[in-house]
Amino acid sequence: MIPIKTENEIALLREANQIVAEVLVTLAALVKPGVTTGALDEEAARLIRAYGAKPSFLGYHGYPKNTCISVEDQIIHGIPGKRKLGNGEIVSIDVGVKHRGYFGDAAVTVACGTIDDTRRKLMDATDLALSRAIAMAKDGNHLVDISRAVQTTCEAAGFAVVRSFVGHGIGTAMHEEPQVPNFVTREKGPLLRKGMVLAIEPMVNAGSCDVRVMRDGWTAVTADGKPSAHFEHSIVVREGGGEILSATPKLVWGRRAS
């Protein structure tokens, strides 16, 4: 059963997600050649705690760090460490927090230095797909309308949507019902109702949709070694489309023109 949140609960979810957004603003600005993913993670931990929240990824099923930072062919769950970022790479930063009993979760992909046209187009298509998916998160639609928006947008641009990982509901748990695929299945999925809160997160590859998981048991990479982009917002279903809870005017994603 998919929880319907009250406006009081949505306000608390907005608080948590605003912390996530502020952390992402800071980390995105720090992405430069020579910076280590571990340094980004340490700064995230400091900021999250300064806001009075807890990093929700740390210790989740044994995950060892505060954030997920995935570089180039790493799709999601990249473990921060000694890796130095290089010019021309794309870097996906995924942040989750727990604050006052509620969870926030969002992700953004940013350029490190100067990137090529393929990477720029990949990022743009994934961002646009998220925007269109959020627009479909309206009362009376079905979950498949969100999935279709992501898949059609990315495939029209010549890219492949990852099928091994999906979005999710979010609230008093980091992962709640329903699962939110970025591709169309045979089922319409549940009817969307006002007050449902979802983490919509397109993960899109420049090459094939095939994935493999590295020996660390966490880091998912593209099977063909081509780059991948990941954008995510936590949103609440409204009458006219999704309201972004993790929005910030300082770093805009998932709000592109259709």
- Give the residue extent of every domain in the chain: 7-244
pLDDT at 258 over 80: no
Q: How confident is the model at residue 143 (pLDDT cuts 50, 70, 90)?
A: very high
Q: Which CATH superfamily is domain 7-244 in?
A: Creatinase/methionine aminopeptidase superfamily (3.90.230.10)
pLDDT at 106 over 60: yes
> Given this model, what pLDDT does residue 79 score?
98
The pairing of beta strand 102-112 with beta strand 89-99: antiparallel
Q: Are 106 and 80 contacting, i.e. CB atoms less than 8 angstroms apart?
A: no
Q: Tell me the C-alpha distance between 18 and 95, whole Å.
A: 11
pLDDT at 177 over 70: yes
pLDDT at 81 over 60: yes
Cα–Cα separations (whole angstroms), residue 64 to 56, 68, 175: 11, 10, 18
- The model's pLDDT over 200-257, given as tens digits with 9 standing for 90+, comes to 999 999 999 999 999 999 999 999 999 999 999 999 999 999 999 999 999 999 887 5
